[in-house]
Amino acid sequence: MTAEKVITTTEKYAIPGLTNVLYLDMTDRSYSIVDRRDLYEKYLGGSGVAVNLMLEEYKEGTGPLDPEMPVILSTGPLSGVYPTCTKTVALFRSPLNGELGESYAGGHLAMSMRFAGCETIVIKGASKYPLYVSVHNDKVRFRDASSIWNLSSTIDVGKIIRDVEPGAGRRSIIRIGPAGEKGVKYASVNVDTYRHFGRLGLGAVFGAKKLKAIVISGDQEIRSPDHTAYKKQYKKLYDTIVKTGLMEKYHNLGTSENVLVLNELRGLPTRNLQGTSFEGAETISGEHFADNYLIRRVSCAGCPIGCIHVAMLKRPFSKAHEYETLNISYDFELIYALGSNLGVEDPKAVLELIDACEKTGVDIISMGVVLAWATEMLQKKKISTEETLGLELNWGDAAAYLRAIELVVRAPNEFYAALGKGVVYASKKYGGEEFAIHLGGLEIPGYHTGLGNILGLTMGVRHSHLDNAGYSADQKAFNKEMSDEEIIDMLIKEDDLRCMLNSLTICLFARNVYTYENVIEALAAIGIRKTEEELKELGRDTLKKKYELKKKFGFSFENLALPKRFFETASTTGMLEEERVKKALELYRKKRGL
Amino acid sequence: MAKRLKVANPARCIGCYSCMRACARTWYNTISLKNSRINIQTKGGIETPYAQIVCHACVDPPCMRACPIGALTKRKGGGVNFNREICDGCGKCVEACLMGAIHLDVENKAVICKHCGVCTKFCPHDVLEMIEVEDSGEVKVTDTGPVSPTESHKELYGKKEAEEGESGKEKAEEGESGKEEAEEENEKKKAERGSGKKEAEEVK
């Protein structure tokens, strides 16, 4: 292990702007901490800093799983400072669709990185054998992880590292499971058991680098140059979050409140989006889970809300009243992916399916869509049980799906290996592209609300429902007529805002709390002066640079695929025509100047 | 009337650390959690319940007995008052506290809870509460009726709910952050008077 170019924070308790970037090289197990104030001053942090680092680091032609392809984890100046600023962004090249991979996770990670004094981490290279990295303040170690490689559960990885590493209490442990090790293209990285870098396959990138886990803790002191202003601002934000109705949904049922809402609006993808309402919605609703299975709620570090809903599943394993209990966190997207979209209406079965995915470490949305596609392929006799090694897949048959999840990860034949490469790959190989429900090469989240949603997921730089206002634009259009242009304008405005918020890595659930005005005040109270125009420009600039990266990675407007299924099933706002979507895409592109 | 901090409902903790932040912010003028006088932590990851490590306000404090130079004196209502100026950082108080509620700061001075209660104002789930105690620190018997299963459970969210349950005075404070600020300052001054020591250097 060598240390080079070490520059540590010069001011005690520094705050205005951030300072360091920690570079890790997996190939020769070396690290360096470099002063990159220049980046933080211009781009604040989070996605703004990460995008610019990616442009610096990316060498033309490097594939997603090549050793030289960097992974960038970044937090922002508000992380660990204000309530609900709890996210860390991961930027990478997605092994699933080859494009820009961007994923956000909560848990203890952002606070741990901040208090360790490394607000951004760049990981390059690949090891010959499994390693994990420990970061405790400025102490960095690469440790042999061979003995925890091949463990069957991501949960166990956490348990073992907890015992061999210091910093107990508030540290963060991020790790991959079997899916990441074996290179499932939508493998996730588990963050502190209940949160994830879920979408677009960061787990497979970790696996390719032979990076099993990162544990990080820190207890550096930080201080605002104007403590009175900081205290006032903190209190204001805290009160807005805790004592007003702005975040009511997340205080209460959490995201799973959406199950009944979307079902009612006929926007809940069901049985591979053959329908948009599910007759079993009641038993997999947020209300039903809360009343029957919810045992506790927990928070990401520094968030007074506690939107992580943990259910207890009590399962008998003998006739002599013997039980095992599993604690499983659930959210709307998981219930859609493994519930309505697979026709599973038994909440216990949904929990068991979530648990299986958690242990193996895959993105649950992608896994659910892949299994739904495979089920329809079997039903339409486009494949037979020869491909599935005798396994019948039928809507609602959770036992079969449980086995299928295991088989996708173990990949015993070509078919299951194809399923592990995502629905685009599998449908190109076996057919059924018209009902492979993806947009931009990413399996869709749980909304079929109309034009806004499809546009947002296709054009949104992260292909994520939370990074664009698509489905909320549709909801608005459902309540009050909106022209397509108005929908597009709303998307563009929200895109810029959310790009800026992602540079501050606030949780987007709190997006209505962190208005431009509040962000400006919050930054000012810790000594960072920005105007609204500067923040808006930062949002636009970040988005532009993301498109620059996307294009380098092979994105083109001409190759956008719009599977037929989206035009065969009525959405919340009615039937969509392909022509209308294409026109809207053109208009979006024109308005954006892309 | 003496008061002390109590972990009233440990199982309701969601691990948001708002209380620790309030403590460090109020008494150390720092943002990070390091100098909080209370400690919320996991013991076996987030999948297990959070532990709240706070000063127990001992009636006969062992930390006070352990201090060889008299930097700790008995506090009205249990626990100790701390004289930061004479603390020499020997760490004997840290050892003496089985709760693990004392640690040393960067300047090697003890960090000890003074039961000001600011943490309870930032607990969204009533995990922490201030309770009335005898001057000696003995717990007072106040309630004699049957226990309601949701006792001490304030309505948590939404202004409307808070208004229903709270007294007018508290309502006003919630409405105006300026007043709350003043309240925080008052708490601080009160606690300072109580300890008979100024903590100017500590809060700088």
Q: Which of A118-132, A191-205, B125-139, B159-173 has the lowest mean pLDDT?
A: B159-173
Decide: residue B75, CB within 10 A, 0-12 exposed, 13-18 middle, 19+ buried: buried
Distance of CA A486 to the CA centre of its chain: 28
CATH number, domain of A462, equals: 1.10.599.10
For residues A453 and A434, membership in a common domain is answered with no
The range of the structural domain enclosing residue A428 comes to 244-439
Domain end residue (candidates: A412, A439, A466): A439
**Mean pLDDT calculated for residue range A77-88:** 96
- How close A177 comes to chain B (CA, Å)? 17
Rg from Cα positions in chain B? 17
Chain B contact set for A111 (CB, 8 A): 17
For residues A413 and A268, membership in a common domain is answered with yes
Kind of pairing between the strands at A294-298 and A308-318:
antiparallel
The domain locations on chain B are: 2-140+152-203
Number of independent structural domains in chain A: 2
Rg from Cα positions in chain A? 23
How high does pLDDT run on average in chain A?
94
> What number of CA atoms fall less than 13 Å from residue B90's CA on the CB side?
15
DSSP for residue A214: E
Contact across the interface for A170 and B29, Cβ inside 8 Å = no
Mean pLDDT in each 10-residue stretch from start to end of chain B (204 residues)? 93 96 94 93 91 96 98 97 96 97 93 96 93 93 76 44 36 38 56 43 32
Kind of pairing between the strands at A131-136 and A211-217:
parallel
Q: Tokens 């290279």, residue? A: A125
For residues A416 and A465, membership in a common domain is answered with no
521-540 of A, contacting B, C-beta below 8 A: 526
Whether A4 has a pLDDT exceeding 60, the answer reads: no
pLDDT at position B180: 46
- Any chain B CB within 8 A of the CB of A303? yes
The C-alpha torsion from A351 through A86 and A156 to A327, rounded to 10°, is -30
pLDDT 10s digits, A455-493? 999 987 666 667 788 988 999 999 999 999 999 999 999
- Any chain A CB within 8 A of the CB of B163? no
CATH number, domain of A289, equals: 1.10.569.10
pLDDT 10s digits, A403-446? 999 999 999 999 999 999 999 999 999 999 999 999 999 999 99
Contact across the interface for A245 and B45, Cβ inside 8 Å = no
What is d(CA B46, CA A109) in angstroms, rounded to the nearest whole number? 13
pLDDT 10s digits, A270-326? 999 999 999 999 999 999 999 999 999 999 999 999 999 999 999 999 999 999 999
- Any chain B CB within 8 A of the CB of A80? yes
Interface test with B, best of A303, A325, A327 (most B CBs within 10 A): A303
A64: left (phi over 0), alpha (psi -120 to 50) or beta: alpha
Contacts 24+ apart (CB under 8 A), A580-584: A580/A451, A580/A484, A581/A451, A581/A454, A581/A455, A583/A484, A584/A451, A584/A455, A584/A484, A584/A487, A584/A488
Give ipTM to 2 decimals.
Answer: 0.91
Whether A591 has a pLDDT exceeding 80, the answer reads: yes
Helix (H, G, I), strand (E, B) or coil at A324: strand
Whether A43 has a pLDDT exceeding 50, the answer reads: yes
For residues A426 and A496, membership in a common domain is answered with no
167-186 of B, contacting A, C-beta below 8 A: 174, 177-178, 180-181, 184
User: Do residues A45 and A72 touch, judged by C-beta distance below 8 A?
Assistant: no
In a domain, A109, yes or no: no
Looking at domain B2-140+152-203, which CATH architecture does it have? 2-Layer Sandwich (3.30)
**Mean pLDDT calculated for residue range A91-116:** 96
Work out the percent of chain A whose per-residue pLDDT is above 90: 88
For residues A283 and A266, membership in a common domain is answered with yes
What is d(CA A99, CA B204) in angstroms, rounded to the nearest whole number? 50
Nearest CA among A428, A488, A500 for reference residue A453: A488
- How many beta-carbon contacts under 8 Å exist across A and B? 129
**Mean pLDDT calculated for residue range A382-386:** 97
For residues A495 and A372, membership in a common domain is answered with no
